[in-house]
Structure 1
Amino acid sequence: MIALQVAGLIADFYLFLELTGDDDLDPDTAVKMTESLAYHLGEMDHAFLRELVDAFAVVAENYTGDEVRETVRNIASDLYLEETLAGDDPVKLAELEALRDARA
């Protein structure tokens, strides 16, 4: 339950950073805050981070609009959270890199 609530808070903040226009939010500030968010999430306990990563797909359904839902579903990927969870596992990291390459 807590992971869903935290995922919703993070999603709101992330959507603000990603979807607010340059006239309303300085792009450099948005990038700095996104990097800070990614750093702090990466420092979380990995068991909780795993729950959080899984929760983004669930909370995405609470948002309106395909683009917005997709943005929320992609938070873990955009912030490299799966790579954080993979740690020093070279096989898992290679799999994640291959998935990224396939999406590009």
Structure 2
Amino acid sequence: MIAEQVARIVADFVIFLSLTDEDELNLDTSVEMMENLAARLDEMDKGFLRELVDAFAVIAEEYSGEAKEVVRNIAHSFYLEEALAADDPVRLAELEALREARN
């Protein structure tokens, strides 16, 4: 429950920074805030981060269009699965292969 609430906050923030027109939001500011968010996510307790990553898939259904895709891709965009697998070289290799196949 708390993970879904935090996921919604993160999702709304990422949607705003990703989808707001450059005329309304300075691109450098947007990038700086995304980097700040990435650092904060990386600092999270790994158990809670796992719940948060799982929550993004659940809450993505609450959004539509481009916003839905942004939410679905938060874990991928911020390398959250990789952060969770930091101590597992086999899982890291799997994630790298999946990332390469996706691109």
TM-score (norm 2): 0.96
Cα-to-partner distance string for 1:31-71 (whole Å, 9 max, x where unaligned): 11111101101101000000000000111111122x22111
Q: Does 1:41 align with 2:41?
A: yes
Number of residue pairs the alignment of both structures matches: 103
RMSD: 0.8
Find runs of 4+ consecutive structure 1 residues off by over 4 angstroms: none
What are the ranges of 5 or more consecutive residues in structure 2 without an aligned counterpart? none
Write the deviation string for residues 73-103 of structure 1: whole angstroms up to 9, x where unpaired.
Answer: 1101100111110013211111111111101
**Residue 11 of structure 1: CA displacement?**
0.2
- Match of residue 18 from structure 1: 18
Q: Percent identity?
A: 66
TM-score (norm 1): 0.95
**Corresponding position of 2:95:** 96
> Which one-letter code corresponds to 2:10 in the other structure?
I
Deviation at 1:21, TM superposition (A): 1.0
